[in-house]
């Protein structure tokens, strides 16, 4: 299906800061690790905002909940370092039960106003099914909803959370939004030169990757596209929106 879509090149000339809002530790690396690496290399300050604590992301009964939370923070920070990402923030919501609550929208809006990114990357809140064998995690959908609800109308409207204005977190309007997993993706990022960086970032999440030798070839197949000359190039795609 992706091959039938029309893509345009990314426009980052005016992007100084980018914010990636995702549900779990490891979500940024799977969805946009290559893109984040390219942005960071170009001097764009990239921040990851992880909404949940990832406390359901393991089946090992010998690991306690608090141990898993701590490990996943360590893993995500290590993965961010691999990609050159500036900072990682954790909202600490319970894994598996993420919702766009009033309290969380406030906290995310505050970070948007504080960081003041020109570009935000989030997930598609309407993506329930992936391919023929995967039900999209509810946190992935709701993370997209949290992000969108914070972006509009709250982040750039002074009538929302006026106490933030008093704290110096003034309204901020982003100029671009990238939505991962959208059926009408229109931006394609060639990450071929950064594929190994993306893979190495994902492999930092040792609590999640039980069989790297099996997983890595499947990732290459998933992200690769055969070219007319017989070579393979690797891509990340997004639905891009612009705001003026």
Give the count of beta carbons closer than 10 Å to the beta carbon of residue 127.
Answer: 17
**How far apart are alpha carbons 66 and 44 in whole angstroms?**
33
Tens digit of pLDDT for each residue in 146-160?
Answer: 999 999 999 999 999
Q: Which residues touch 1 (CB under 8 Å, ≥6 apart)?
A: 183
Helical packing angle, 27-41 and 65-83, nearest 10°: 30
**How far apart are alpha carbons 87 and 4 in whole angstroms?**
36
pLDDT exceeding 70 applies to what percent of the chain? 98
Task: List the one residue out of 192, 207, 171, 187 whose CA is nearest residue 62.
Answer: 207
Tally of domains within the chain: 1
Amino acid 6: pLDDT: 86
- Three-state DSSP state, 76: helix
Amino acid 3: pLDDT: 54
**How far apart are alpha carbons 95 and 232 in whole angstroms?**
36
Amino acid 4: pLDDT: 65
Q: For residue 6, what is the domain's CATH number?
A: 3.40.50.10320
Residue spans of alpha helices (H) in 116-206 = 138-149, 162-167, 195-203
What is the pTM for the complete model shown?
Answer: 0.95
Judge whether residue 234 has pLDDT over 60. Answer: yes
| Contact between 180 and 31 (Cβ < 8 Å) | yes
Tens digit of pLDDT for each residue in 186-229?
Answer: 999 999 999 999 999 999 999 999 899 999 999 999 999 999 99
- Domain of residue 169: give its range: 2-242
């Amino acid at each position: 299906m992706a091959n039938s879509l029309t893509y345009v090149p990314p426009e980052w000339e005016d992007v100084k800061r980018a914010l990636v809002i995702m549900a779990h530790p490891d979500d940024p690396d799977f969805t946009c690790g290559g893109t984040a690496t390219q942005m960071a290399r170009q001097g764009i300050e990239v921040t990851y905002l992880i909404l949940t604590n990832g406390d359901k992301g393991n089946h090992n009964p010998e690991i306690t909940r608090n141990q898993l939370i701590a490990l996943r923070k360590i893993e995500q920070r290590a993965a961010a370092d691999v990609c050159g990402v500036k900072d990682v923030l954790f909202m600490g919501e319970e894994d598996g039960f993420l919702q766009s609550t009033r309290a969380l929208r406030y906290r995310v809006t505050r970070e948007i106003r504080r960081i003041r990114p020109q570009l935000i990357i989030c997930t598609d809140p309407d993506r329930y099914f992936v391919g023929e064998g995967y039900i999209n995690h509810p946190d992935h959908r709701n993370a997209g909803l949290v992000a969108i609800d914070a972006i509009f109308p709250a982040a750039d409207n002074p009538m929302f959370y006026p106490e933030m204005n008093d704290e110096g977190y003034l309204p901020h309007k982003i100029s671009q939004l990238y939505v991962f997993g959208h059926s009408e993706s229109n931006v394609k990022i060639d990450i071929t030169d950064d594929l190994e960086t993306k893979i190495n970032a994902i492999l930092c999440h040792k609590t999640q990757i039980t069989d790297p030798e099996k997983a890595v070839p499947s990732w290459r197949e998933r992200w690769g596209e055969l070219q007319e000359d017989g070579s393979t190039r690797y891509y990340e795609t997004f639905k891009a929106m612009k705001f003026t």
